[in-house]
Structure 1
Amino acid sequence: MIEGDAASVYVAGRPAGTEPVERSYVQVIRVRTLLAWVPFVIGAVVLDRLVLAETPVGGLLLVLVPLLAVLATALAPPRIWARLGYALEPAMLRVVRGWMFHTDTLVPLVRVQHLDVARGPLDKMFGTATLAIHTAGTHNSIVTLPGLSPARAAELAAAIRTHIKADLD
């Protein structure tokens, strides 16, 4: 695998030449973001009620932390989705992601060991799947491509398998 910060031309938020993942994956990201904020909101309520209740700033956390959670849940997922793309090239798979920290991963198909198509409860709910590519080596040996339709994930897996079989012959 080759990783780097490619200086690419961007089209609609993602590097030119890459395909977007399913639009419904925004909802998966949104639910995961909301679930990640739940402990912070609970912690803010507890801290506010037990420690800050009798101070001049009592009640401030009850407003600020949930507001921050709502803003993060509304604004971040579309940006994360817009920066997630992929391209299956003749000899490699390119996975591009990152809103704040950009990662451009190139997986040579000759290094692919095996493939998994996974669907968790949120994926099933919103009609998405994740393609996991296991490669030779130890560092970053699993590359995931989330947000594909189940049919597209299976299609990509079949295309990569065909390439692997051609290399073995």
Structure 2
Amino acid sequence: MERLNSRVQLLWIGRAVVVAALLAGVAVAIDRFAIPVDPPLIAAVVVVAAVLGTVHAVLRFRRWRFEIQDDALFLVRGVVTQVDTSVPYVRLQHTDTQRGPVERLVGLSSVVVYTAGTRGADIRIPGLRPERATELREQLRELAAESEATDAV
């Protein structure tokens, strides 16, 4: 099974640090405008949030894998709730590559796979090098077309 690029951990850890900083801002606002809060308590909450977010990011990276199988795209992901997903190629509608500003900054991209059947049924494969994302998108498009042609016969 293929793993994500290790730089995706930087994005996920960065997100955890931003959330911890926002939490600090909320705690300071509560201290200033509502209830006095002990500064060491604020610091402890922020540190715990940053550490837990970092641990979650590392565990998430270790778990996240995907594989192009003969008849389906198979994904394994999740930390607290572990999810194994099999998406038959015949259910694929289309695929996109996405690169947000932060992803571009660290040289990563994502592939989004849209499936048939339900509203909003899409799967995002993050943390890919742009070349790999383009290659994967095209590979999935070809497999979906082959599957549709085979299913029509």
TM-score by length of 2: 0.87
Q: CA RMSD in A?
A: 1.8
Note the C-alpha offset of 1:98.
0.7
Q: Residues 70-118 of structure 1, C-alpha deviation per residue, up to 9 Å, x if partnerless?
A: 3134322111111111011111101111111101111101111100000
- Report percent identity of matched pairs: 28
* Partners of 1:48 and 1:22 in 2: CA distance: 41
* Partners of 1:74 and 1:98 in 2: CA distance: 15
- Equivalent position of 1:163 in the other structure: 143
Q: Which structure has more RCO (C-alpha within 8 Å, separation ≥ 6)?
A: 1
> 5+ residue gaps in structure 1?
1-17
More helix by share: 2
Note the C-alpha offset of 1:151.
1.2
Q: Residues 13-36 of structure 1, C-alpha deviation per residue, up to 9 Å, x if partnerless?
A: xxxxx2110000000111122222
Secondary structure of the corresponding residue to residue 138 of structure 1 = coil
How many pairs does the alignment contain?
149
Residue number among 18, 26, 33 corresponding to 2:16 in the alignment = 33
Kept in 1, the 8 Å contact 2:20–2:47? The answer is no
Label 1:165 to 1:58 Cα distance change in 2 as closer, same or farther (>3 A). Answer: closer
Note the C-alpha offset of 1:52.
4.3
Question: Does 1:46 find its partner at 2:29?
Answer: yes
Q: Residues 32-75 of structure 1, C-alpha deviation per residue, up to 9 Å, x if partnerless?
A: 2222233211111122234443xxx6223322222123313432
Q: Residues 109-165 of structure 1, C-alpha deviation per residue, up to 9 Å, x if partnerless?
A: 111110000011111111111111011111561111111111111111111111223
- Equivalent position of 1:106 in the other structure: 86
TM-score by length of 1: 0.80
| Mapping of residues 49-88 of structure 1, within 5 Å | 49-53=32-36, 58-88=38-68
> 5+ residue gaps in structure 2?
none
Secondary structure of the corresponding residue to residue 104 of structure 2 = helix
Kept in 2, the 8 Å contact 1:48–1:61? The answer is no
Label 1:98 to 1:167 Cα distance change in 2 as closer, same or farther (>3 A). Answer: closer
